[in-house]
Chain A
């Protein structure tokens, strides 16, 4: 359990620093960077929910509801932020 928390924090910090790096990249013809940033945010969201909040031990209803909520919000933000 202790190692699990340590690993989770390490991954979260790495993803946070990765987000900052990705955000500083220049845009191409198809600016997918907002979508990539929100996908990384989804990963962090789920890691906190499933590991720190111990949702992985919960009934599948709460797991799927949390997954759906995270996916829906970050998906909407990512997709509608892509420059047209």
Chain B
């Protein structure tokens, strides 16, 4: 571990300087609270109408949900590798890992879009029942977050390409933290919507 890495590690020990920055972590916890409340509402209504929620849940495809989980996990792995490579001074390798992160995001959004298309053509909309209202709202907002995350990472990657780039480790770490937040939220959404009812 070099001096820069040691300094970084010491800074992360400060309560005001978590990995990715304190602002991002405030955002992350606000998002976790928001999605958490949505999921708790899902479970509440699920207890009121267990049979309806069960019959609705089996209309979802857990295989697609599992594949999407794997897409995001591998994408998160690529993102972590990108941050590590940047810290090691391997800018080009870091850019390559960001590209693979974006590929994971594209695959996730592609499969999710297919699921949405399938539901829409089957006539299962926002007002089908409480389960599908929750499904559309929770996964829809998550979809938007993934899209925003991809825009952020694409912007960072483009700014990293020039040799005199002014993108810092903190910039990349913040973008990575937002991306991992999308992963964290999906890790809660997937079992709650696709498996437990």
Contact = CB atoms under 8 A, between A and B. Distances in A.
B35 to A, nearest CB: 8
- Give the secondary structure class of B's interface: helix
Interface residues of B, number: 47
Interface of B: 9, 12-15, 18-20, 25, 29, 32-33, 36, 39-40, 43-44, 46-47, 50, 62-63, 66, 69-70, 73-74, 76-77, 79-81, 83-84, 176-177, 180, 183-184, 187-188, 190-192, 195-197
Interface string A59-77: 1011001000100111011
Contacts of A78: 196
Interface residues on A, range: 35 or more
Contacts of B63: 20
A2 B36 CA distance: 32
B84 A72 contact: no
A52 B180 contact: yes
Given A45-B184, A48-B183, A81 B77 contact: no
